[in-house]
Amino acid sequence: MSKYSRLQVINTMKENGMVPLFFHNDLDVAKAILDACYNGGSRLLEFTSRGDFAHEVFGPLVKYASEKLPGMIIGVGSITDASQASLYINLGANFVVTPVFRKDIAITCNRRKVLWSPGCGSLTEIARAEELGCEIVKLFPGGTYGPSFIKAIKGPQPWTNVMPTGGVSPDEENLKSWFDSGAFCVGMGSKLISKEIIKKRNYSKLKNDVQNVLKVIKKIKST
């Protein structure tokens, strides 16, 4: 069962400005990454379900966060159908992110009052998602569409909240382009939690990188 309400998740996404995301099949590594993100100031993390038995890592990770990391909100990404969404919600997912728009996932998440963020690539998809209760749309792959896409759709639909994922990097110029175009928050995966960091177990670097990204985002949003 989700620990945090949809409103709490939305407000944290807005305040944080960035959702780190990753997958690893080793629970100890996942905990270390979670700790680094938390200590760097992030209060959000998306665990992408991209490997066999991923849910067996996710469940204990959520329990660990609940016991050791006050205020840490963990959600799940790469969800492709309603049964998978239901599984992760039962394991404590506080939000569900999908690569595509699917009505069955919307219904499952709404029934449990869990925030869901579908991957959309057109204004029609976005409008349909919002009709089904979507509060924050995932623009994926973000790098394919670019910041100009967000700026364009905010014209006819200024109420739409967009989270680009893919094509987002930690440098200030990239982040500024997204937020200046109207991004609500951004999702950041391998450009932040890189294979090199995981391979070398350089969690202190990850902590510092998360801290720096959050500072840059705060600076951009305050100007």
C-beta of residue 139 within 8 angstroms of C-beta of residue 165: yes
Q: Look at residue 138 and give its three-state secondary structure.
A: strand
> Residue 59: inside a domain, yes or no?
yes
Q: Look at residue 38 and give its three-state secondary structure.
A: helix
Cβ count within 10 A of residue 104: 12
From 144, 90, 137, select the one nearest 128 (Cα to Cα): 137
C-beta of residue 90 within 8 angstroms of C-beta of residue 79: no
Domain count, the chain: 1
Long-range contacts, 79-83 (Cβ 8 Å, 24+): 79/49, 79/105, 81/105, 82/107, 82/108
Q: What is the chain's length?
A: 223
103 Cβ partners below 8 Å, 6+ apart?
132
> Residue 144: inside a domain, yes or no?
yes
Position of tokens 């050791």? Answer: 68
What is the torsional sign of CA 119, 125, 130, 136? Answer: positive
From 68, 82, 17, 69, select the one nearest 221 (Cα to Cα): 17
> What is the model's pLDDT at position 189?
97
For residue 103, give Cα distances in angstroms to 80, 85, 107: 11, 12, 6
pLDDT tens digits, one per residue of 37-68: 999 999 999 999 998 999 999 999 999 999 99
Cβ count within 10 A of residue 67: 8
> Residue 220: inside a domain, yes or no?
no
> Residue 221: inside a domain, yes or no?
no
> Residue 163: inside a domain, yes or no?
yes
C-beta of residue 36 within 8 angstroms of C-beta of residue 210: yes
C-beta of residue 49 within 8 angstroms of C-beta of residue 23: yes
Residue 7: exposure state from Cβ atoms within 10 A (0-12, 13-18, ≥19): exposed
> What is the model's pLDDT at position 223?
83
Which residues are paired to 162 by β-bridges?
137
> Residue 219: inside a domain, yes or no?
no
> What is the model's pLDDT at position 1?
78
Reading the block at residue 81, the tokens are 């159908």
Reading the block at residue 67, the tokens are 């016991």
> Residue 26: inside a domain, yes or no?
yes
- Its domain, for residue 186, covers 6-214
64 Cβ partners below 8 Å, 6+ apart?
31, 34
Give me the CATH number covering residue 68.
Answer: 3.20.20.70
> Residue 196: inside a domain, yes or no?
yes
Name residues of the chain where pLDDT drops below 50.
Answer: none
